């Protein structure tokens, strides 16, 4: 089969790397790809929101299935467009993608279908939101969220009312996220361990992958601003299987009742609180960097899972894994998630022996790699013990160099301190 993957990050590099191991693969294309992806797939520079051009590319290149990496084309309706052209595509349609594209939609869905989540209120007027903060019993710590897609920056975890008020004003008056900030959610602040639950969903059956844990803050010990994710490891066992089943059974009931055509990946970001697991958010695609820690452990043919999902046959499937742990560390440009420079030459990638390097933001020119984004590389190492996977990944990073490179030194350390297995 010929497969097209849409996207340009480490997640897409890992998906393509894994798809290349499939027994069904003839050729893999990527739109638009990056420096690393261009070494293993044929890349085409097409705007990922130009569905007409993408569908023409698919027809001209006899692509059998298109796999969508990022959320934006999904929420803009690429799946609906492909359906009108009778082209096979992996991902939920526009209506279902609101589970990620609108936090208000997602929270109301969770409430309606009894999926445990933080308590919340929705506001479409700035003064009403601020009045709510100042009404007894006044909220001293809460979370403010812009409704729409904001590249992972639309969530403000606040410690004081002043911080919360500033966040609301930023979103609703300064409109820093544009229309994504037309509505805000004021949410109860939860405490607990976070875990990513990523699952295949064919509309009738949900097949969860192993649990993984992301590291969202830019610096060690979870300090500094939130990022797209600085590293992940798998497997962890933070949520027990009974609770996972309950969350996903209620999710399935919800999508059926709302007539949502959900075929693809459902990702639940969970916090394990004293009162049990609560869903912080849904994403409708693979996590980045969780995918870079999960796929190196996956034994089952990824393309089989994709085909079973599209055909609605997941009920007959069981996912198999290799033994051991995978730790994936993200290397970023200095300054990320704030301002950073690009175009720095990257040295040493080909000297990495004990790990696989997935590219996030790189370009390849004149046989050299250059930085081309905030998150630049992911280094993923597998070993039978978590301790050794951590040692391997950090030994491998030692041979990679570029100006102002930054990475966390404590990825997966939480997994060593215990408490992550039930």
Task: Considering the complex, state which of residue 151 and residue 416 has its C-beta at the smaller distance from ligand AMP.
Answer: 151
Burial 40-69 (b: 16+ CB within 10 A, else e): ebebeebebeebeebbebbeeeebbbbbbb
- When asked if residue 187 is in the footprint of ligand GLY (CB under 6 A), the reply is no
Q: Out of 117, 227, 283, 292, point to the residue binding ligand GLY (CB under 6 A).
A: 283
- When asked if residue 214 is in the footprint of ligand GLY (CB under 6 A), the reply is yes
Which range touches ligand GLY (CB under 6 A), out of 233-241, 283-291, 330-338, 400-408? 283-291
- When asked if residue 154 is in the footprint of ligand GLY (CB under 6 A), the reply is no
Task: Considering the complex, state which of residue 147 and residue 214 has its C-beta at the smaller distance from ligand GLY.
Answer: 214
Task: Considering the complex, state which of residue 144 and residue 295 has its C-beta at the smaller distance from ligand AMP.
Answer: 144
Task: Considering the complex, state which of residue 116 and residue 229 has its C-beta at the smaller distance from ligand GLY.
Answer: 229
Between CA 124 and CA 62, with CA 97 as vertex, the angle to 5 degrees is 150
Site of interaction with ligand AMP (CB under 6 A): 118, 143, 155, 157, 187-190, 194, 216, 226, 269, 280-281
For 366, other C-beta atoms within 10 Å of its C-beta total 5
Distances in whole angstroms, Cα of residue 116 to Cα of each of 110, 120, 217: 7, 12, 25
Which one of ligand GLY, ligand AMP, none interacts with residue 189, CB within 5 to 8 A by kind?
ligand AMP
Cβ neighbours of residue 329 under 8 Å, at least 6 residues apart?
230, 231, 378, 379, 380, 393, 394, 397, 407, 408, 411
Task: Considering the complex, state which of residue 214 and residue 383 has its C-beta at the smaller distance from ligand GLY.
Answer: 214
Task: Considering the complex, state which of residue 129 and residue 265 has its C-beta at the smaller distance from ligand GLY.
Answer: 265
Contact predicate 93/83, CB 8 Å: yes
Which one of ligand AMP, ligand GLY, none interacts with residue 280, CB within 5 to 8 A by kind?
ligand AMP
Which one of ligand GLY, ligand AMP, none interacts with residue 94, CB within 5 to 8 A by kind?
none
Q: Looking at beta carbons, which residue is closest to ligand AMP?
A: 281
Contact predicate 53/47, CB 8 Å: yes
- When asked if residue 396 is in the footprint of ligand GLY (CB under 6 A), the reply is no
Task: Considering the complex, state which of residue 147 and residue 202 has its C-beta at the smaller distance from ligand AMP.
Answer: 147
Q: Out of 287, 296, 373, 374, point to the residue binding ligand GLY (CB under 6 A).
A: 287
Q: Helix 94-101 vs helix 103-112: angle between axes, to the nearest 10 degrees?
A: 100
Q: Which positions touch ligand GLY (CB under 6 A)?
A: 214, 229, 283, 287-288, 290
């Amino acid at each position: 089969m010929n497969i097209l993957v849409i996207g340009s990050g480490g997640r897409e590099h890992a998906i393509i790397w894994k798809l290349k191991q499939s027994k069904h693969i003839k050729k893999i294309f990527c739109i638009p790809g990056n420096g690393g992806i261009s070494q293993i797939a044929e890349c085409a520079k097409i705007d990922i929101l130009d569905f007409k051009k993408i569908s023409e590319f698919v027809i001209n290149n006899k692509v059998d299935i298109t796999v969508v990496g990022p959320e934006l084309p999904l929420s803009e309706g690429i799946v609906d467009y492909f359906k009108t052209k009778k082209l096979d595509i992996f991902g939920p349609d526009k209506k279902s993608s609101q589970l990620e594209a609108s936090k208000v939609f997602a929270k109301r869905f969770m409430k309606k279908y009894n999926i445990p989540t933080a308590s919340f209120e929705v506001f479409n007027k700035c003064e009403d939101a601020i009045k709510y903060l100042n009404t007894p019993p006044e909220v001293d710590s809460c979370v403010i969220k812009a409704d729409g897609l904001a590249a992972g920056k639309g969530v403000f975890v606040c410690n004081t009312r002043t911080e919360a008020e500033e966040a609301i004003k930023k979103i609703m008056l300064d409109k820093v996220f544009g229309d994504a900030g037309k509505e805000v959610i004021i949410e109860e602040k939860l405490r607990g361990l976070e875990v990513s639950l990523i699952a295949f969903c064919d509309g009738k059956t949900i097949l969860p992958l192993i649990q993984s844990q992301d590291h969202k803050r830019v610096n060690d010990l979870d300090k500094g601003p939130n990022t797209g994710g600085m590293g992940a490891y798998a497997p962890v066992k933070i949520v027990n299987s009974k609770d996972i089943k309950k969350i996903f059974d209620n999710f399935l009931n919800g999508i059926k009742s709302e007539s949502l055509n959900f075929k693809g990946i459902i990702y639940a970001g969970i916090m394990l609180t004293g009162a049990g697991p609560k869903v912080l958010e849904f994403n409708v695609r693979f996590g980045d960097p969780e995918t870079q820690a999960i796929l190196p452990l996956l034994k089952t043919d990824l393309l089989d899972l994709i085909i079973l999902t599209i055909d609605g046959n997941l009920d007959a499937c069981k996912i198999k894994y290799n033994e051991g742990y995978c730790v994936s560390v993200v290397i970023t440009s200095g300054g990320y998630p704030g301002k950073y420079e690009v175009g720095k030459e990257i040295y040493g990638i080909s000297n990495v022996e004990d790990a696989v390097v997935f590219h996030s933001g790189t370009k390849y020119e004149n046989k050299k790699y250059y930085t081309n984004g905030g998150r630049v590389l992911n280094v993923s190492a597998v070993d039978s013990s978590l301790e050794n996977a951590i040692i391997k990944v950090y030994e491998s990073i030692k041979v990679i160099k570029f100006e102002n490179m930054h990475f966390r030194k404590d990825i997966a350390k939480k997994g060593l301190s215990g408490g992550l297995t039930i």
